[in-house]
């Protein structure tokens, strides 16, 4: 295998990415040296902010595409999606790595990140999450490893991984299902703090459901973006299939959300005009109903690629917003009772952007040097 010459590294966009990564890197060092108070706007009333709400919760949700596609192909034998298994798994792998980086920066004692592996506390959902992250990152590593082995021409290793791939994927799916929902379970213990618009004992399953549509949308966007930037041919069969899956997931999620709205705080709560209510409406309309309409109503004859992009972007934005709502806006009313406020600091924003840029850059690098798209047709 040789380098993918179609992929140009030294583009202005890449340089921009590198600039953002560099800036993020410098600020990450600043954060580690000077502490959280010096670099973030976190405080005693808002102990969690952008890095947990967006980087960690959002990053993990984004990675759901990995287990969905790998599962579909390896477990459910949906061969149609085979071409996107590798990018999907890579995205998940990168997503997790970056979430872990964000977590390291967010932890007060970053060097102790491995402690949960030693100091078990099975009553803690955070411990459950930590164990998942450790195992699933390893699983994703295994799932991605054939690309490296192929590049290195370690055929035996490739064969070995291929031999064990089904149980590995199965393990990955099990972990992911649990993990996605567990992140929702993190917020089960704060029913008094979290606005009833989000607070429900079913929260873990809502997280799982939303991660499905998020994962599918991410894989879709990625496929479209890769096809465009790496000059591949669009595979409409795959894309339409993903849209179908996404629509189903959106419908299920919408029904669940409406059910918990009606049985929970009531429809009126969504129209109370408060910051929380408005954020909830934005999430519901902009992140579920609107993309559902766009995706379902796209013109299949023109293959509706723009509608697809719009729909998927809205889904992704909606789920990210949901995670921010659950972890920050939904608790704002409770947490700012003493008058304290939270809005992320510039450093928090730049590091988050740096992590996103790093993800895109690593993806691009991987695509250039490793067999990410084997057998894809070049336009």
Partner 1 sequence: MAKSVLVDLTRCIGCRGCQVACKEWNERVARKTIFRGDYSNPVRLSSDCYTRIRFEEKEEASGPVWSFVKEQCLHCKNPACVSVCPVAALTKTENGPVVYNYDRCIGCRYCMVSCPFQIPTYEWDSARPWVQKCSFCSERIKDDLVPACIKVCPTTTMFYGEEGEVMLEARKRLQDNPDKYVPHIYGEKEAGGTAWVYISSVPFEDLNFRMDVPQVVLPDLTWAYISKVPALFGVVFVAGVTGWVITRRIDAASKEDQS
Interface ranges with partner 1 (CB under 8 A): 32-38, 42-45, 47-48, 71, 74-78, 106-110, 112-113, 115-116, 119-130, 166, 170, 173-174, 177-178, 181-182, 185-186, 188-193, 201, 204, 331, 334-335, 337-340
Q: Which is nearer to partner 1, 126 or 362 (CB)?
A: 126
What is the closest distance, in whole angstroms, from the C-beta atom of residue 29 to partner 1 in the complex? 12
Q: Which of 270, 365, 356, 364 is nearest to 316 (CA)?
A: 356
Question: How far is 223 from 212, CA to CA, in rounded Å?
Answer: 17
Q: Which is nearer to partner 1, 178 or 214 (CB)?
A: 178
What is the closest distance, in whole angstroms, from the C-beta atom of residue 117 to partner 1 in the complex? 10
Angle 132-245-260 (CA atoms, 0-180°, nearest 5)?
Answer: 70
Q: Tell the burial category of 93 from Cβ atoms under 10 Å away from its Cβ (0-12, 13-18, 19+).
A: buried
What is the closest distance, in whole angstroms, from the C-beta atom of residue 98 to partner 1 in the complex? 18
**SS3 state of residue 41:** coil
What is the closest distance, in whole angstroms, from the C-beta atom of residue 243 to partner 1 in the complex? 22
Q: Which is nearer to partner 1, 200 or 235 (CB)?
A: 200
Residue with the two structure tokens 């890197």:
25
Q: Which of 5, 15, 64 is nearest to 361 (CA)?
A: 15
Q: Which of 243, 188, 193 is nearest to 213 (CA)?
A: 243
Q: Which is nearer to partner 1, 99 or 147 (CB)?
A: 99
Question: How far is 242 from 204, CA to CA, in rounded Å?
Answer: 23
Q: Which of 62, 33, 50 is nearest to 353 (CA)?
A: 50
Q: Which of 250, 171, 271 is nearest to 206 (CA)?
A: 250
Overall size of the chain counted in residues: 379
What is the closest distance, in whole angstroms, from the C-beta atom of residue 4 to partner 1 in the complex? 31
Q: Which is nearer to partner 1, 17 or 100 (CB)?
A: 100
Structure tokens at 278: 């408005």
Q: Which is nearer to partner 1, 302 or 338 (CB)?
A: 338
What is the closest distance, in whole angstroms, from the C-beta atom of residue 164 to partner 1 in the complex? 14
What is the closest distance, in whole angstroms, from the C-beta atom of residue 31 to partner 1 in the complex? 9
Q: Which is nearer to partner 1, 167 or 297 (CB)?
A: 167
φ/ψ of 231, rounded to 5, equals 65, 40
Q: Which residues contact 153 (CB under 8 A, 6 or more apart)?
A: none
């Amino acid at each position: 295998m040789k380098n993918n010459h179609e992929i140009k590294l030294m583009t202005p966009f890449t340089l921009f990415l590198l600039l953002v990564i560099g800036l993020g890197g410098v600020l990450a060092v600043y954060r580690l040296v000077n502490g959280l108070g010096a670099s973030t706007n976190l405080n005693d009333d808002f102990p969690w902010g952008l890095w947990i709400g967006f980087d960690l919760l959002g990053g993990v949700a984004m990675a759901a595409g990995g287990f969905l596609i790998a599962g579909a192909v390896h477990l459910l034998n949906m061969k149609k999606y085979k071409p996107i298994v590798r990018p999907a798994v890579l995205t998940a792998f990168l997503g997790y790595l970056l979430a872990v980086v964000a977590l390291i920066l967010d932890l007060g004692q970053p060097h102790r990140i491995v402690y949960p592996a030693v100091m078990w506390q099975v009553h803690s959902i955070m411990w459950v999450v930590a164990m998942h992250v450790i195992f699933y990152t390893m699983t994703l590593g295994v799932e991605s490893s054939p690309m490296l082995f192929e590049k290195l021409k370690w055929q035996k290793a490739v064969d070995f991984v291929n031999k064990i791939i089904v149980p590995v994927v199965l393990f990955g799916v099990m972990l992911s299902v649990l993990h996605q929902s567990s992140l929702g379970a993190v917020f089960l213990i704060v029913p008094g703090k979290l606005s009833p618009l989000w607070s429900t004992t079913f929260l873990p399953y809502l997280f799982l459901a939303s991660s499905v549509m998020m994962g599918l949308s991410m894989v879709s966007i990625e496929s479209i973006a890769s096809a465009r930037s790496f000059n591949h041919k669009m595979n409409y069969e795959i894309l339409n299939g993903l849209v179908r899956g996404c629509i189903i997931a959106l419908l299920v999620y919408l029904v669940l959300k409406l059910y918990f709205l009606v049985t929970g705080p009531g429809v009126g709560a969504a129209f109370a005009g408060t910051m929380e209510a408005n954020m909830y409406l934005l999430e519901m309309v902009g992140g579920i109903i609107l993309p559902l309409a766009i995706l379902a109503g796209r013109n299949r004859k023109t293959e509706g690629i723009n509608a697809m992009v719009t729909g998927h972007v809205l889904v992704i934005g909606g789920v990210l917003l949901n995670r921010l709502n659950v972890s920050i806006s939904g608790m704002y009313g409770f947490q700012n009772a003493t008058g304290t406020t939270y809005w992320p600091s510039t450093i928090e924003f730049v590091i988050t952007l740096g992590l996103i840029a790093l993800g895109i850059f690593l993806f691009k690098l991987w695509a250039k040097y490793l067999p990410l798209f084997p057998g894809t047709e070049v336009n």
